[in-house]
Amino acid sequence: MKFKLLPIILAAAGLIAAAGWHMDARAQEDGDSTPSVETIVDRANRAAYYQGQDGRADVRMRIIDAQGRERNRELTILRRDNAPPEDHADQYGQDEYTGDQRFYVYFKAPSDVRNTVFMVWKHMDADQNDDRWLYLPDLDLVKRISASDKRTSFVGSHFFYEDISGRNPNLDEHELAEVTDTYFILDNTPKNPDNVEFSRYRMWIHKDTFLPIQIEYYDKRGEAYRRYTVENVSRPQDYITVTKAKMADLQSGGHTIVEYTDVEYDVGLPKDIFAERYLRKPPMEYIK
């Protein structure tokens, strides 16, 4: 599962090339010509967040501050697309769905966060905010996370709440800044800049796989302050998948590394487990 992007970039590109992954015929669009910006954004969004109709993964999160002190988190992430492609054959193909989704994140360790649950109902309508809940077991409290909090730290890590389920591409204007031998490089500007802390972000999207390999965020002064990089990829069930990634705070010097294991797709997750009543009663048969 990819939750759902220079030396690290080149290393990731080498892994992709070594695995023999190639752009499909539909992505080629007239041979070697560059796809439209809309196509690149759509394919990158699908590669990062929509492979399979659902999925699960165990995750280890290492939070490292500027002094090198480390905290660890162990969690399981479940993801389900609201409307599987076969239910809308007249609108979507198997690898074309990019609609609403649901995410369920269950914390296993350490003891101070065990049984904490984070849940997202992701809406692709740009006028509708995602619904987010956080269950705090020590207080037996279900907390709604407001739209204004989505750009804040996720459980003390360098990832934001919005990073977990992905930013809606309809919230931004997209421009193709550069094309290299390996990447489509996109600049993305928020349509409502007052709602976010960044002025723009730049994405390096691998040309063969459309997988975002690096994302760099710039503040209102135009200085880079956050950087996401892919450090490893694999191909479970024939789906190209990020299995190790890093989010760095370029101002504080801290960073968080996430590693994904036991990745599975098309598990058959039922829709009803992504409901508020399951925050207190986790579906352990899928969390394991």
If you average pLDDT over residues 242-247, what whole number do you get? 98
If you average pLDDT over residues 48-72, what whole number do you get? 96
Is the confidence at residue 12, as pLDDT, over 50? Answer: no
Q: Kind of pairing, strands 54-64 and 70-81?
A: antiparallel
Q: How far apart are CA 122 and CA 47, in angstroms?
A: 17
> Tokens 């994405």 appear where?
203
According to the model, what pLDDT value does residue 175 have?
Answer: 98
Confidence of residue 26 (pLDDT cuts 50, 70, 90): very low
Q: Please enumerate in sequence order all residues whose Cβ is within 8 A of that of 31, keeping only pairs 6 or more positions apart, or say none.
A: none
According to the model, what pLDDT value does residue 32 have?
Answer: 56
Which two structure tokens, joined as six digits, stand for 204? 């390096």
Is the confidence at residue 251, as pLDDT, over 90? Answer: yes
**Is residue 255 helix, strand or coil?**
strand
pLDDT, tens digit, for every residue of 143-154?
999 988 999 999
According to the model, what pLDDT value does residue 147 have?
Answer: 86
- Cis peptide leading into 282, omega within 30 of 0? no
Is the confidence at residue 66, as pLDDT, over 90? Answer: yes
According to the model, what pLDDT value does residue 288 have?
Answer: 83
Confidence of residue 250 (pLDDT cuts 50, 70, 90): very high
Go through the domains of the chain in sequence order and give each one's CATH number.
7-287 (2.50.20.10)
49/97: higher pLDDT: 49
Specify whether the CB–CB gap between 108 and 74 falls below 8 A.
yes
Specify whether the CB–CB gap between 56 and 269 falls below 8 A.
yes
Q: Please enumerate in sequence order all residues whose Cβ is within 8 A of that of 212, keeping only pairs 6 or more positions apart, or say none.
A: 4, 5, 44, 47, 48, 203, 204, 205, 206, 228, 230
Mean pLDDT across the chain: 88
pLDDT, tens digit, for every residue of 91-139?
545 557 889 999 999 999 999 999 999 999 999 998 899 999 999 999 9
Percent of the chain's residues with pLDDT above 70? 85
pLDDT, tens digit, for every residue of 176-235?
999 999 999 999 999 999 999 999 999 999 999 999 999 999 999 999 999 999 999 999
According to the model, what pLDDT value does residue 64 have?
Answer: 98
44/32: higher pLDDT: 44
Length of the chain, please?
A: 288
Q: Please enumerate in sequence order all residues whose Cβ is within 8 A of that of 202, keeping only pairs 6 or more positions apart, or say none.
A: 177, 185, 186, 187, 188, 215, 216, 218
Q: What is the largest CA-CA distance in the chain?
A: 58
